[in-house]
Structure 1
């Protein structure tokens, strides 16, 4: 495993729409492991592949309950609403107040290509939505009601 460099805004790779993963290879497993190690080192709760310069639909999330790996994730259901501060490892020192669904259900593939379903509420729901936005070239600053200086999340 290895720690990768986190791409910082305004790098154009953060604005690219990522491509679906079609091959489940040892290289994909290495990417997932490196992304998890990078996320933990940076003290984040989620990391999307474009944040390490890879335009593939891959995310890792851990809000304290263990690592969740999602390949080609897609939100299939949303409920209720939450509003609160959000940060991003690619935009250090900036926070924004973002409106998100309070609960989400997403489908994705695991590292072996098996379909999985992930349901989350509160912080996990926020993280899933934030990371999937990254895969579509959307940053929290694009949808925040306001942004302000703060420490990284």
Structure 2
């Protein structure tokens, strides 16, 4: 970890001493990283990562996550819940228990193609809403 820290200092144009003064982290902590090859705990890792504008993963491994890895995904249960919600709405639409839907100016006919398109659209909306909640820190 010290090598990564050292490189970050060089990139930012500061010394480890300056880093310690700016953050309040004791210089003996930095020496321990260097001499014993140890890693820091979560609280200090967060301070270091925030200071340099990197992720904690980068600080610990020297590797950036790919954007695909960073995207929140739905759990198996959340995916099942989205499917259940979409099925419930489709049932209500088919039984005329909800507002009238229109496609291209005509009432929803319920034919197989329109049905699949509508259900796929509902699933996409439910998934996007659940992921948005995760990104905003809700429902985890």
**What TM-score do the two structures reach when normalised by structure 1?**
0.19
Larger fraction in strand: 1
TM-score normalized with structure 2 length: 0.20
Name whichever structure is richer in helix by fraction. Answer: 2
Higher relative contact order (CA 8 A, sep 6+): 1
